[in-house]
Amino acid sequence: TKVIVKTALRDLKTLQKERPDFKITINLQLDLLTDKKFRTWLIKEVGNSGVTPDTFGVEITEDSAFTDIENFSETFEELKNAHIEIFMDDFSMGHTAISLLRKNYFNYIKIDGHLIRDLENERSQRIVASIIELGKGLNFKVIAEYVETEKQRNLLAELGCKIYQGYLYYKDMPIEQLKGLLKDGK
């Protein structure tokens, strides 16, 4: 995990030479973030990396072991104070979503891709629209995952979602290819 963090920060710093607001997030298990020793190390690494504040983030899946929600305040406050953005990944698929949103832990919520893939279903559209409105009302930025077609993106835009992630834009690629895209202004 530490190698992944260091690699992500090194690559982010490199990519920010082309675009200072470029962001990278990595998935981390909640138990790692609640481990004080690891969290202190992570905060120090991000602080010493030279990346633009609020451009490195951690994604935590909604189905993580959020058994005692009240005890996560210190963890998330420390991360936020260190300008590490916090994303709730796979929102809408777990048991604790609404309870977690009572606290202002997250900067972003990412709508689970299963709902996006089924976006032509009217009930899925209503659920997605409700999540978008909930996110806006609670001052979270909302990201739609698995956006693979223009039709999905256009429908999401109609529903009020403005941030998309998926193969409609790009597939996974080596960093050198990504640097080339940024140099070309994409």
pLDDT in tens, 130-166: 999 999 999 999 999 999 999 999 999 999 999 999 9
Residue 28 contacts residue 59 (beta carbons within 8 Å): yes
User: Phi and psi dihedrals of 163, rounded to 5?
Assistant: -120, 130
Please report the pLDDT score of residue 81 as a whole number: 95
Q: Which residues pair with 111 in a beta bridge?
A: 91, 144
Tell me, rounded to whole angstroms, the distance of Cα 133 from its chain centroid. Answer: 18
Nearest to 78, CA basis, from 102, 44, 48, 28 = 44
- At residue 142, the pLDDT reads 95
Residues 140 and 107 sit within 8 Å (Cβ to Cβ): yes
Q: What is the pLDDT of residue 86?
A: 93
Residues in the chain with pLDDT < 70?
Answer: 62-71, 92-100
In angstroms, rounded to a whole number, what is the distance separating the alpha carbons of residues 18 and 52?
12
For the CA atoms of 183, 43, 108, 184, what is the dihedral angle to 10 degrees? 0
For residue 9, give the 3-state DSSP assignment. Answer: helix
Q: Decide the pairing of beta strands 24-27 and 163-164.
A: unpaired
Query: pLDDT value at position 183?
Result: 87
Q: Enter the DSSP assignment of 68.
A: S
